[in-house]
């Protein structure tokens, strides 16, 4: 009994052990198969694309780029050099570069449009349709005149290439002036009567070249001019500084002047600096001009600001040609000071022989501003 029991027990133990091994192996096989299936599903899109097959359709719309990748008959635009750097160029002449492109597809490449990032650049294609294996050019022109400094311009080329329907080209350049004036124009607005105002202008040559001012004079003799040598350490440019001074005696009102400068540069022996400004007196007003559009119905209000209003008065206001109807409205501010507004209305019907030009004239008791003139324009229907 003991021997039989032992044999049966051992047999059962061995059978159980083999079953455990079997089930363990079966379980491992299931896990491996599942892992293999997951890995296959994960890698399927890349495998299919590498083999040239289209991936399974999804519920959403396929991306245009994916469609193009599997379309062997699509045209393909290719630019071997989509960027070009002119480096440093002199201001004045136009600079031109031609971008060459090829059709690496199996059907006709059609150029739709060529546009630039600004009006200072022009671009045109050599031809609209490029056969498979053929080539064409995009000719780009940059106008350097009046555009000193570093610049980057983008040229956009549209085509029927489904992968790159809008291809961008890039041009870079640094435009250098023979003589650089900083700033090119001088504005002296809001100068109070009886005060002095000065502004400085730098006149510089190219790096490594010494520029000298031989003379500088005011053509209208409104402002004073002086000059002297300067060096800009940042880029080692040697030039001169011009100081423009508005004298204390300048009367109230707008003014303009021009500074004629002669230099030692053979390519730019003369240059001109324009000066514009206004000396303001006791009375300031805004807007400076009134424009009525066709068939006006509402009057226009001009705000009048009086410095030191004590003792000030408007003596009269009138229209020169009778096309405008002016009226001065007086009120008091929170501090009890006098406030003024000029209200101007237009005539109902503009005479046929009129050019629509008129003036509103304000007469005051101020010695510096005895008369203030506001231009008025009435546009015809």
Exposure string over 101-135, b if 16+ CB within 10 A, otherwise e: bbbebeeebebeebebeeeebebebeeeebeeeee
Give this prediction's pTM: 0.57
Question: Which of 147, 87, 146, 98 has the alpha carbon at shortest distance from 122?
Answer: 98
Question: Rounded to 5 degrees, what are φ and ψ at 31?
Answer: -65, -45
Rounded Cα distance between 224 and 244, Å, is: 6
Specify whether the CB–CB gap between 268 and 227 falls below 8 A.
no
Instruction: Compute the radius of gyration of the chain from its Cα atoms.
Output: 41
Rounded Cα distance between 229 and 240, Å, is: 4
- What CATH architecture does domain 283-378 belong to? Sandwich (2.60)
Tens-binned pLDDT, residue by residue, of the chain (381 aa):
444 444 455 445 555 555 454 444 444 444 444 444 444 444 444 433 443 433 433 333 344 444 445 478 899 999 999 999 999 998 888 999 999 999 999 999 999 999 998 878 888 988 999 999 999 999 999 999 888 889 999 999 999 999 999 999 999 999 988 888 999 999 999 999 989 999 999 998 887 788 999 999 999 999 999 999 887 766 677 889 999 999 999 999 899 999 999 999 998 899 999 999 999 999 999 999 999 988 888 999 999 999 888 889 999 999 999 999 999 998 887 877 778 999 999 987 888 889 999 999 999 999 999 999 999 999 887
The answer for residues whose C-beta is within 8 angstroms of residue 282's C-beta and 6 or more apart is 193, 306, 307, 308, 312, 366, 368, 369
* CA end-to-end span of the chain: 130
CATH topology of domain 77-176: Immunoglobulin-like (2.60.40)
The answer for residues whose C-beta is within 8 angstroms of residue 381's C-beta and 6 or more apart is 294, 295
Question: Hey, where are the domains in the chain?
Answer: 2-56, 77-176, 179-280, 283-378
Specify whether the CB–CB gap between 205 and 232 falls below 8 A.
no
Question: Which of 203, 205, 199 has the alpha carbon at shortest distance from 215?
Answer: 203
pLDDT digits (tens, 9 = 90+) for 7-41: 455 445 555 555 454 444 444 444 444 444 444 44
Q: Where are the alpha helices (DSSP H) in 51-156?
A: 64-70
Specify whether the CB–CB gap between 378 and 296 falls below 8 A.
yes
Structure tokens of 381? 């229907």
Specify whether the CB–CB gap between 360 and 376 falls below 8 A.
yes
Rounded Cα distance between 289 and 373, Å, is: 9
Overall CATH class of domain 179-280: mainly beta
Rounded Cα distance between 237 and 230, Å, is: 9
């Amino acid at each position: 009994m003991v021997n039989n029991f032992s044999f049966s027990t051992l047999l059962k133990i061995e059978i159980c052990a083999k079953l455990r091994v079997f089930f363990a192996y079966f379980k491992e096989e299931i896990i491996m198969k599942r892992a293999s299936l997951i890995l296959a599903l994960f890698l399927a899109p890349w495998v299919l694309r590498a083999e040239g097959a289209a991936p399974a359709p999804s519920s959403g719309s396929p991306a245009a780029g994916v469609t193009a990748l599997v379309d062997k008959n699509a045209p393909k635009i290719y630019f071997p050099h989509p960027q070009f750097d002119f480096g440093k160029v002199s201001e004045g002449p136009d600079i031109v570069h031609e971008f060459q492109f090829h059709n690496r597809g199996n059907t006709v490449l059609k150029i739709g449009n060529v546009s630039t990032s600004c009006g200072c650049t022009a671009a045109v294609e050599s031809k609209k349709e490029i056969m498979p294996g053929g080539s064409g050019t995009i000719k780009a022109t940059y106008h350097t005149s009046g555009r000193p400094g570093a610049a980057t311009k983008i040229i956009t080329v549209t085509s029927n290439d489904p992968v790159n329907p809008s291809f961008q080209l890039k041009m870079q350049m640094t435009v250098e002036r023979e003589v650089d004036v900083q700033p090119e124009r001088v504005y002296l607005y809001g100068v109070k009567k009886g005060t002095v105002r000065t502004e400085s202008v730098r006149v510089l040559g190219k790096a490594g070249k010494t520029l000298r001012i031989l003379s500088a004079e005011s053509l209208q003799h409104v402002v004073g001019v002086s000059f002297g040598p300067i060096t800009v350490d940042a880029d080692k440019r040697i030039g001169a500084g011009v100081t423009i001074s508005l004298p204390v005696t300048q009367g109230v009102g707008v003014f303009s002047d021009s500074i004629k400068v002669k230099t030692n540069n053979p390519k730019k022996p003369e240059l001109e600096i324009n000066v514009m400004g206004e000396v303001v007196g006791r009375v300031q007003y805004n807007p400076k001009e009134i424009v009525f559009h066709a068939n006006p119905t509402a009057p226009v209000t001009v705000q009048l600001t009086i410095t030191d209003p004590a003792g000030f008065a408007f003596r009269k206001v009138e229209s020169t040609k009778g096309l405008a109807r002016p009226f001065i409205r007086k009120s008091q501010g929170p501090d009890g000071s006098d406030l003024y507004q000029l209200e101007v209305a237009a005539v109902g019907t503009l005479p046929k022989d009129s050019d629509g030009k008129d003036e509103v004239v304000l007469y005051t008791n101020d010695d510096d501003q005895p008369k203030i003139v506001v231009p008025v324009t009435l546009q015809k229907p």
